[in-house]
Structure 1
Amino acid sequence: MEKQVELVVYGAEVLCPSCVNLPSSKEQYDWLQAAISRKFGGNGVTYKYVDIFNPPEEEPYKDFATRVVDEDMFYPVVLVEGEVVGEGNPRLKTVYKALEKHGLQPE
């Protein structure tokens, strides 16, 4: 079985104050999943959405959600294998590059 690359999106129902004209975090999460599936296929990536105001108890998700709030980061914040690759308005090119760095190949 191939290695799964973890992509985590931290966001909230409420738009971030600096992201008024952008889609919601959840909409961007869904959009990222669709775009990544088109480029890399349906396998190889595990996706997780974390609500920063109601994070799961498990680590490292709870700690990073607290960090997003405490540091006033623009959300959604996108992590690939624990590395921040997008904040506020994630760029597909940057996300793709991070996935390729972790071994995913476009189909």
Structure 2
Amino acid sequence: MTNQTEVIVYGAEVLCPSCVNLPSSKEQYDWLQAAISRKFGEEGIQYTYVDIFNPPEEEPYHSFAKQVVDEDLIYPVVFVDDELVGEGDPRLKRVYKALESRGFEPTA
């Protein structure tokens, strides 16, 4: 298994105009974190939430948050490390597959 993998969720408190009837980005971030932890445990996975309207200055977060806004991407946008695994309504299957490809195995 890799030493550390990062799950990054880019989103905003306000709902995406294309995401009517979906939870907010922050709610989806919390849901993803809980689902991943249940399946793979908590060791080796770091979670980062980036508010696209108030991103940190740190790269690559700042640049991609600007890209989400400038290109009107459907958020939340979810990455596992540098791999885009979801946009708008992320699918656990794709997220799990990306984690498994990095050596993570389901617990019990």
Structure 1 residue runs of 4 or more that deviate by more than 4 Å after TM superposition: none
Quote the residue 1:65 is aligned against: 65
Deviations 1:33-79 (Å, cap 9, x if unpaired)? Answer: 00000000111210000000000000000000001111111000000
Structure 2 residues without counterparts, runs of 5 or longer:
none
Aligned counterpart, 1:42: 42
Equivalence for 2:11: 11
Cα offset for 1:88?
0.2
> Which residue of the partner structure matches residue 104 of structure 1?
104
Counterpart residue identity of residue 32, structure 1: L
TM-score by length of 1: 0.97
Which structure 2 residues correspond to residues 15-34 of structure 1 after superposition, within 5 A? 15-34=15-34
**Which residue pairs with 1:77 in the alignment?**
77
Secondary structure in 2 aligned to 1:73? coil
Letter in 2 for 1:13: E
The answer to whether the 8 A contact 2:2-2:102 is kept is no
Percent identity for Structure 1 against Structure 2: 75
Summarize deviations over 1:60-103 as a string: whole Å, max 9, x none: 00000001111111000000011110000000000000011111
- Alpha-carbon RMSD: 1.2
Deviation at 1:2, TM superposition (A): 5.5
Q: Provide the TM-score with structure 2 as the length reference.
A: 0.96
Q: Give the Cα–Cα distance (whole angstroms) in 2 for the partners of residues 2 and 80 of structure 1.
A: 13
In structure 1, how many angstroms separate the alpha carbons of the residues matched to 2:102 and 2:71?
27
